[in-house]
Amino acid sequence: MNDLGFFTSLEDEPQIQYLNDSLYEEFQAEVAIKREDQIDTYVSGNKFRKLKYNVLEAAKQQHHTLLTFGGAYSNHIAAVAKAGSRSGFKTIGVIRGEELAQNFRETLQHNPTLRFAQDCGMQFKFVSREVYREKLQPQFLQQLKDEFGTFYLIPEGGTNTLAVQGCAEILSEATQDFDYIACPVGTGGTIAGIIEGSFPHQKILGFPALKGDFLNAEIKKYTDKTNWELVNAYHFGGYAKVNQELVTFINDFKKKHDILLDPVYTGKMMFGLRDLIRNEFFSKNTRILAVHTGGLQGIAGMNQKLLKKGFPLIRM
């Protein structure tokens, strides 16, 4: 029996929190954050928005199982696992890295993301990186159906047309007075939805967490609007790559504003936004809204990596 209340009754629209910062004041920029991270502890931010209509569609089609793909530290994997357990679905995660299955108990011991997903009832299938690259090929999908039975497929990162529909709801009448909307970019679904939900006078700035120019084509699959731009200078070397400067910024931001940022997405966005303001990218008296897309669940795993490198840890 599916219980869809979590996705059908969002009690309170996430707050818009204005930031007091001497640098913003110096360059006459008004900056606020839409606290999408406050939607939920585990299915927060863009994960809630992306999964909402997919879970409702899965129930409409009378599926009982959600299957998705991700890496070993994927926030998406954790969110699908929790969303499934809350909504009455079985969940299956196809995980990149077959070596993780060799000593599964040790993997769980050192990986808080997979441990959390398993605690939510998710079943795993570990595959090689070669097989993972073929994850959407009909032959592989048929193998998964032969092994697990029928399922509702949610793509890696959650991006599809229904996800974009959900992410469009991040913006509303409460956000129409802002000139710029800033958001992190992973697979392109969140920014596509925000572009679709934006008003004509607004410019959308995306801050990719990955290197490469492939995202433009991905975003254009879901929107015909042109009021957007990707800022590619703040990925810190690529997906999940961080350095001490970024960690220091995240910790200072938390101390100053009492807002925790994640190191993969929102930390890089806010770092980049501050740098753009400092370099007078925006005209004076510009109103900027940054979207906090959540992702805080992944900090524990990142801190394990930082500890091995001898870097300072992200203070939670």
* Cα(283)–Cα(17) distance, integer angstroms: 22
Q: Assess whether pLDDT exceeds 80 at residue 105.
A: yes
E strands, the chain, where?
A: 16-18, 29-34, 65-70, 90-96, 123-127, 152-154, 180-185, 203-208, 228-230, 286-291
Calculate mean pLDDT across residues 263-288. Answer: 97
Q: Which pLDDT score, from 0 to 100, does residue 102 have? A: 93
Q: Which pLDDT score, from 0 to 100, does residue 260 have? A: 97
* Cα(255)–Cα(266) distance, integer angstroms: 16
Q: Which pLDDT score, from 0 to 100, does residue 11 have? A: 67
Where residue 1 falls among pLDDT bands split at 50, 70, 90? low
CB atoms < 10 A from the CB of 71, how many? 17
Nearest residue to 69 via CA among 6, 3, 151: 151
Calculate mean pLDDT across residues 91-107. Answer: 95
Q: Considering the chain, what percentage of its residues have pLDDT values greater than 70?
A: 99
- Please list the residues that pair with 195 across neighbouring strands: none
Tokens of 187: 């697979």
Q: Which pLDDT score, from 0 to 100, does residue 298 have? A: 84
Q: Assess whether pLDDT exceeds 90 at residue 3.
A: no
Where residue 214 falls among pLDDT bands split at 50, 70, 90? confident
Q: Considering the chain, what percentage of its residues have pLDDT values greater than 90?
A: 84
Do 120 and 92 touch, CB atoms closer than 8 A?
A: no
Q: Could you identify the residue written with the tokens 């994640």?
A: 262
Calculate mean pLDDT across residues 116-126. Answer: 97
Nearest residue to 45 via CA among 272, 261, 300: 261
Where residue 206 falls among pLDDT bands split at 50, 70, 90? very high
Q: Assess whether pLDDT exceeds 70 at residue 222.
A: yes
* Cα(30)–Cα(24) distance, integer angstroms: 7
Nearest 5°: CA angle at 295, between 291 and 301?
Answer: 150
Q: Assess whether pLDDT exceeds 90 at residue 271.
A: yes
Calculate mean pLDDT across residues 113-127. Answer: 97
Q: Which pLDDT score, from 0 to 100, does residue 2 have? A: 73
SS3 160: coil
Do 180 and 202 touch, CB atoms closer than 8 A?
A: yes
What integer best gives the mean pLDDT of the chain?
Answer: 94
User: Does pTM top 0.85 for this prediction?
Assistant: yes
Pairing of strands 180-185, 286-291: parallel
Q: Assess whether pLDDT exceeds 70 at residue 262.
A: yes
Calculate mean pLDDT across residues 107-118. Answer: 93
* Cα(5)–Cα(80) distance, integer angstroms: 16
The residue type found at 112 is P
Do 167 and 185 touch, CB atoms closer than 8 A?
A: no
Where residue 254 falls among pLDDT bands split at 50, 70, 90? very high
Least confident of 36-40, 101-105, 238-242, 272-276: 238-242
Calculate mean pLDDT across residues 229-254. Answer: 93
Nearest residue to 202 via CA among 173, 181, 218: 181
Q: Assess whether pLDDT exceeds 80 at residue 12.
A: no
CB atoms < 10 A from the CB of 130, how many? 8
Q: Assess whether pLDDT exceeds 80 at residue 74.
A: yes
